Amino acid sequence: MSLPTNPEVQELLAQHPSEIGDIASALRQRVFALVGDTEEEVYFDWNQVGFACGAGMKRQFCAIAVRDQRVDLIFNRGAELDDPTGLLEGAGKKERHVPIASPQALNNPAIDALIRSAADLAASDS
């Protein structure tokens, strides 16, 4: 699958160490591979790339937050997701995240299941 070109994503990732940018790029590719009709938006103030099933923040199902030492895969409605492997962290009312500090951490099918579930949940609100 060819990834959509987005100069804003490249600009955001260029502001961080290359190994962190590589993790974020691989995660971005996975989101596009798993969720067909995905809208993408860059939020420079938050160092995030958001993904939605259609336009608008309400339809956003996850985001990649680029940190100095890791990447966080954020689920806007993570508290509603089934997480049998216990990957999700956070105690907020709705949001949960999965911290990813190495490329090897991406080799987890539970991450794919969370992404798909989050997209299904967002799409069901249409």
pLDDT digits (tens, 9 = 90+) for 16-42: 999 999 999 999 999 999 998 888 999
pLDDT in tens, 91-108: 989 999 999 999 899 989
DSSP 74: E
The pTM assigned to this predicted structure is: 0.91
Residue with tokens 């969370």: 114
105-111: Cβ within 8 A, 24+ apart: 106/23, 106/26, 106/27, 106/30, 110/83, 110/84, 110/85, 111/30, 111/73, 111/87
